[in-house]
């Protein structure tokens, strides 16, 4: 029993190997200060990450989805009603609301229009400063992304000690995709942070089920109350909760206080109770998120809600969630039935490709992170002492990725943002291997990932790793939120003022920003005969990638003269 209690997988606080005494003499000072060295390194990593995200948040104009979320959060704050953006539950927008409350924007609740129009009206036609409002809306997401870094560190430390925790945190803190989406007022990073937290808490429930299972349910409920794409994680985490309860039941060293009723006489009953506790708390959190917006749960959608029939319709009706949540699921199913257009490796297609997300992740994941994460995942499965952690670390991202690959919207790796985050945690498993050069190789790959990230600063959204030519070439391989999400309208305005003052500008812009607000006075070249288009032709790279007909002819007859933020191309006609 003593050997079992000291096992690193069963006791998260224990290191993966016996602690060796540092030699006397020149290493004495390091030994005295080793207690504060890891916290200092954690602080430094998170500080540089915060600096990168805040810099990005300050410089980028609103992306396509952000005005919708900010307007919905403002409506929550001022009107307390469930009206806009039903396809996403409220919790992530309540987080954004915390920043909106500080900005205190002017808001006209009587303005009519769809949720995108309401967002643009709030930012550009209500007397607000969009730069200030967007920064405050983004800051709560930045703070949550930094807190997620602590979860990454804690999870990896449980697996491979402090060195493993620092390795995982470094990979996370320098991940371009995490920095890019962690600096936006969107829902992707909050959902990922809550899913990862749920996995960590269910893992720790092996030792203290009474403490961690309810907390895991709360984190899972928070993820599901932020994005409906987290729903496939529910049965997986329920199964993991049952496994943790079963493991704890068999361990005499586990304390069940303060909830002794969680432990039944039969192991199967304990497992069932553990799964039910997680599910019950998760559902309660979903209801609480909607009640926080409107205690009366009134739901008057601003747009139509499609009907869903067959098996999907029956499944929606059976879920124990508020009516607004079920309506949001119908909207999501309606979006899935739409024939979207995609772009991958230079080819435009209609519909979806099952391998789109793995291919996009291959392009946008730093090579050091990909190598260490893959090796760490293998180590977690292969090493006997780490194998108990394998389902807790690998099952949820595998199921979420499989579910995302069946979706019809091939818009970007943000739909699989959990992959680089879980890969960072898995990378800690490499340090558990008894290779002579494991530590040195790990350090070199972490440094490579860090350098790759620093080189793309501050253009994290269009990042591509070195194998695919870097961020300057991403637009030739991918589109939409992988490259061009409308984030560089402000930078374009600066470029036009500095280098092309007074010139005739023709603009094809993909985004939610209003060009005239930033001083860009341009016409759409597609609205006039090609012979009249002379001067500077400015085209968002997503439009370039999918250019057909008149726009394709205009680009073919033009000369490239520059680019802005690796997301907007400039041509001379």
Q: What are phi and psi of 360, to 5 degrees?
A: -65, -40
**What is the distance, to the nearest Å, from the Cα of residue 232 to the centroid of all Cα atoms in its chain?**
16
Residues with Cβ within 8 Å of residue 51, at least 6 apart in sequence: none
Average pLDDT over residues 171-185: 97
- Give pLDDT, residue 248: 83
- Give pLDDT, residue 314: 87
- Give pLDDT, residue 10: 44
Band (pLDDT 50/70/90 cuts) for residue 530 is: confident
CB atoms within 10 A of CB 1: 8
- Structure-model confidence comparison of residues 268 and 514, the more confident one: 514
Mean pLDDT over the full length of the chain: 90
What percent of the chain lies above the pLDDT cut of 70? 92
Band (pLDDT 50/70/90 cuts) for residue 20 is: very low
- Give pLDDT, residue 313: 85
Whether pLDDT at 68 is above 60: yes
Cβ-contact 418, 195 below 8 angstroms:
yes
- Give pLDDT, residue 6: 38
- Give pLDDT, residue 406: 93
Q: What is the helix, strand, coil percentage profile of the chain, to 5?
A: 60, 5, 30
What percent of the chain lies above the pLDDT cut of 90? 76
Whether pLDDT at 407 is above 70: yes
Tokens 């800051």 belong to 139
- Which of the residue ranges 32-36, 288-292, 530-534 would you say has the lowest mean pLDDT? 32-36
- Give pLDDT, residue 224: 97
- Give pLDDT, residue 32: 61
Q: Whole-prediction pTM value?
A: 0.91
> CA geometry: angle at 524 spanning 486 and 568, to 5°?
35
- Give pLDDT, residue 260: 59
CB atoms within 10 A of CB 178: 30
Cβ-contact 555, 539 below 8 angstroms:
yes
Average pLDDT over residues 524-535: 89
Beta bridge partners of 569: 539, 563
Whether pLDDT at 267 is above 90: no
């Amino acid at each position: 029993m003593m050997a079992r209690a000291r096992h690193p997988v069963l006791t998260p606080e224990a290191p993966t190997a016996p602690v060796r005494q540092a030699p006397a003499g020149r290493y004495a000072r390091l030994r005295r200060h080793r207690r504060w060295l890891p916290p200092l390194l954690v602080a430094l990593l998170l500080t540089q990450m915060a600096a990168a995200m805040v810099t990005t948040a300050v410089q980028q104009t609103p992306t396509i989805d952000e005005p919708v979320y900010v307007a919905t959060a403002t409506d929550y704050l001022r009107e307390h009603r469930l009206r806009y953006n039903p396809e996403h539950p409220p919790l992530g927008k309540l987080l954004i609301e915390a920043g909106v409350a500080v900005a205190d924007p002017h808001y006209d609740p009587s303005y009519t229009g769809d949720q995108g129009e309401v967002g643009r009206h709030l930012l550009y036609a209500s007397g607000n400063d969009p730069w200030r409002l967007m920064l405050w809306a983004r800051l709560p997401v930045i703070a949550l992304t930094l807190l997620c870094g602590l979860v990454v560190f804690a999870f990896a430390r449980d697996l491979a000690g402090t060195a493993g925790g620092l390795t995982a945190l470094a990979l996370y803190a320098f991940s371009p995709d995490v920095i890019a989406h962690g600096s936006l007022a969107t829902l992707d990073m909050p959902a990922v942070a809550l899913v990862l937290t749920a996995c960590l808490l269910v893992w720790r429930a092996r030792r203290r089920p009474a403490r961690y299972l309810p907390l895991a349910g709360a984190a899972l409920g928070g993820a599901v109350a932020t994005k409906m794409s987290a729903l496939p994680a529910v049965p997986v985490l329920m199964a993991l909760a049952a496994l943790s309860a079963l493991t704890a039941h068999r361990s005499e060293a586990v304390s069940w206080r303060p909830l002794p009723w969680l432990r039944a006489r039969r192991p199967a009953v304990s497992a069932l109770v553990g799964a039910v506790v997680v599910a019950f708390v998760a559902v309660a959190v979903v209801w609480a998120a909607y009640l926080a917006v409107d205690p009366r749960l009134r739901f008057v959608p601003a747009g139509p809600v499609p009907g869903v029939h067959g098996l999907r319709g029956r499944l929606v009706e059976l879920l124990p969630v508020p009516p607004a949540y079920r309506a949001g699921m119908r909207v999501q199913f309606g979006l899935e039935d739409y024939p979207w257009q995609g772009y991958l490796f230079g080819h435009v297609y209609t519909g979806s490709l099952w391998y789109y997300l793995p291919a996009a992740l291959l392009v946008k994941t730093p090579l050091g992170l990909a190598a260490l994460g893959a090796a760490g995942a293998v180590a977690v499965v292969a090493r006997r002492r780490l194998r108990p952690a394998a389902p807790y670390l690998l099952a949820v991202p595998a199921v979420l990725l499989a579910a995302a690959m069946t979706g019809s919207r091939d818009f970007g790796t943000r739909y699989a943002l959990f992959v680089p985050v879980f890969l960072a945690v898995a990378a800690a498993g490499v340090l558990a291997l008894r290779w002579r050069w494991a530590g040195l190789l790990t350090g070199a790959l972490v440094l490579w990932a860090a350098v790759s990230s620093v080189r793309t600063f501050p253009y994290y959204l269009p990042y591509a790793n070195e194998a695919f030519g870097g961020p300057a070439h991403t637009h030739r391989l991918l589109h939409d939120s992988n490259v061009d999400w409308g984030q560089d309208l402000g930078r374009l305005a600066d470029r036009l003022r500095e280098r092309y003052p007074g010139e005739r500008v023709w603009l094809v812009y993909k985004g939610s920003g209003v060009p005239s607000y930033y001083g860009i006075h341009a016409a759409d070249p597609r609205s006039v005969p090609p012979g009249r288009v002379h001067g500077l032709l400015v085209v968002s790279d997503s439009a370039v990638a999918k250019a057909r007909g008149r726009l394709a002819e205009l680009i073919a007859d033009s000369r490239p003269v520059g680019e802005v933020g690796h997301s907007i191309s400039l041509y001379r006609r």
